[in-house]
Amino acid sequence: MTDIIDGNAVAEDVRAGLTDAIDALDEAGVTPGLATVLMSEDPASQTYVSMKQRDCEEVGIDAFDYELDPDAPAEELYELIDDLNEDDSVHGVLVQMPLPDHVDEREVLRRIDPAKDVDGFHPENVGRLVAGNPRFKPCTPHGVQKLLDATEVDTEGKDVVVVGRSNIVGKPMANLLIQKAEGGNATVTVCHSRTDDVAAKTKQADVVIAACGVPELVTGEMLSEGVVVVDVGINRVDADNEKGYELVGDVEYDSAEEKASAITPVPGGVGPMTRAMLLWNTVKSAGDAADVDVNLP
């Protein structure tokens, strides 16, 4: 029997655990606050931002909503970030990517106060993660770690293959898994678009984490019996239904499920965890700023 890992249920547990931390902050007179900045008319980005705001409101985090015209000068965004860095009611600053071409994404990441960088993409926070002393773990890999833990998958000594090397998923995922820490201690192989034979690597793996943005790239044939499969991918593919599309992961679910001892579905696997870990990071940031021990779940 394959264990279907329920990301919605684990995310709900994380959110429930955060309520205690938010209550502890409340007693200290602190309400965690997340500022989201949208500089795009892309419907997907707009949806992501509104979901993040709704998630905040549901758990008692103040959501501050900023929207900039995509044609506004980059300086306007930089100045807004500077203001949010100074604002004591804001504990997390999240600038929704992608940004318009005239905005320097790296400057944006550098500009956010590292203590409010709840995405974990500021170079200082990336460095801390690599050095084994993370301040904020990036939300998606952190969510995957929580999912594995909730499924009682012990990564210590295991062969884990991460398919994808992006700065937001693949690289931080690999870094978390090699840490000498709980949820780490794995032997990690990172595959990417120039890897000669991805299947040769995934076949050796105890755990495969697919984050390549290629619909259904990882098939059952590429896996060994009993493997744990985590599918980070979210891809829209054309479908003969009302919407005209459906969401599929980076794993071919049906064939992979036949081999796997445990597998995440898409949707309902990693996605809800990414959202929950953003709340987690915001509450952590508020606790750090107020020097309150928030006992995070």
Contacting residues toward ligand NAD, per CB under 6 A = 140, 163-166, 168-170, 191-193, 195, 198, 211-214, 217, 232-235, 250, 270-271, 274
8 Å CB contact between 178 and 184: yes
**Residue with Cβ nearer ligand NAD (9 or 28):** 9
89 is in an annotated binding site: no
137 is an active site residue: no
Answer yes or no: are the C-beta atoms of 6 and 146 closer than 8 Å: no
- Whole-number minimum distance, CB 161 to ligand NAD, in Å? 10
> Exposed/middle/buried for 237, CB within 10 Å: 0-12, 13-18, 19+?
exposed
From residue 285, give the alpha-carbon distance in Å to each of 11, 13, 104, 139, 204. Answer: 19, 20, 25, 14, 39
Residue number, 49 or 84, with CB nearest to ligand NAD: 49
Specify the DSSP class assigned to residue 289: H
Q: Please identify the residue of the shown chain whose CB is closest to the bound ligand NAD.
A: 166
Query: Which one of the listed residues 96, 116, 146, 201 is annotated catalytic?
Result: 96
Minimum Å gap between C-beta 211 and ligand NAD is 4
Does 234 show up as a binding residue in the annotation? Answer: yes
Residue 46 bears catalytic tag: no
- DSSP character at residue 218: B
Nearer to ligand NAD, 84 or 227 (CB): 227
149: Cα separation from own chain's centroid: 15
Q: One of 55, 117, 119, 231 is an active-site residue; which one?
A: 119
C-alpha neighbours within 13 Å on the C-beta side of residue 268: 7
Which residues define the annotated binding site? 164-166, 234
* Catalytic site positions: 52, 96, 119
